[in-house]
Amino acid sequence: MEAIIEVKNATKIYRVGTEKIVALDNVSFTINKGDFCCLLGSSGSGKSTLLNIMAGIEKITSGDIFIKGKKITKMGEHQLAKFRQKYLGFVFQSYNLINSLTALENVELPLVFKEEPKKIRLKKSKEILGKVGLEKRLKHKPSQMSGGQQQRVGIARAFVANPEVVFADEPTGNLDSKTAKEIMGIIKQIAEERNQTIVMVTHDIEIAKFANKVIHIHDGHIERIEGEQLNEEN
């Protein structure tokens, strides 16, 4: 098994006025390539903080994060932005689509930033929108789609550039439970086909059932890790 993300002694302290909030307290673990990993815990346990420092969205207070062996916690802004563009994808709870753009244009965006030619952008975007079941909604704007459809666009956008790791923070948090399961099934299927790694935050044990590794977080600590396998080479 190949480690793709290593979290070493990660601590995050927020300062609010004179108060210190320890959101993460010396957390260490590894995620392997192809893992579907859920960070599971109640509200305020530190899940989003952990996801955000792993994805390079928030600065760590102490400790280190390695992705593909690269210490992202030591990268400068520009280098980190390039790294994220090349290797990482994101799915958000509130979809974060651009309202003035169609489904197809929203999905194309990561490829625009990567400066891929128009023809390739269209081919890849249509293909992934087909995979999420939206081949008939290419011209629809976000306001003309249901929440479940908007999140399908969000997933297509996260996966279109074929990132090695996709981070998702409560991606089904705004959806009913039936739609949530459909969305989870789509994410899992795409990731499995391409051997991509998923790191997902949830407070919902039903959602965590889709994962092969579940990291239980409580009060900024790891309580336990389910699905941690012994190294087969030993």
Contacting positions for ligand ADP (CB under 6 A): 14, 16, 21, 23, 41, 43-49
Q: Which of 48, 52, 151, 197 binds Mg ion (CB under 5 A)?
A: 48
21 contact choice in ligand ADP, Mg ion, none (CB below 5 to 8 Å, kind-dependent):
ligand ADP
HEC letters along 146-180: CHHHHHHHHHHHHHCCCCCEEEEECCCCCCCHHHH
Distances in whole angstroms, Cα of residue 24 to Cα of each of 15, 123, 165, 189, 201: 13, 42, 22, 31, 15
Please choose, from the candidates 65, 130, 86, 82, the residue with its C-alpha nearest in 3D space to the C-alpha of residue 104: 130
Min separation Cβ 172 and Mg ion, Å: 13
Min separation Cβ 48 and Mg ion, Å: 3
Q: Which is nearer to Mg ion, 24 or 145 (CB)?
A: 24
Asked whether the beta carbons of 11 and 60 are under 8 A apart, the reply is: yes
Secondary element (H or E) of residue 127: helix 118-131
49 contact choice in Mg ion, ligand ADP, none (CB below 5 to 8 Å, kind-dependent):
ligand ADP
**Which residue type does 51 have?**
L
Q: Which is nearer to Mg ion, 48 or 172 (CB)?
A: 48
Instruction: Tell me which stretch binds Mg ion (CB under 5 A): 18-26, 40-48, 71-79, 219-227.
Output: 40-48
- Residues in touch with Mg ion (CB under 5 A): 48
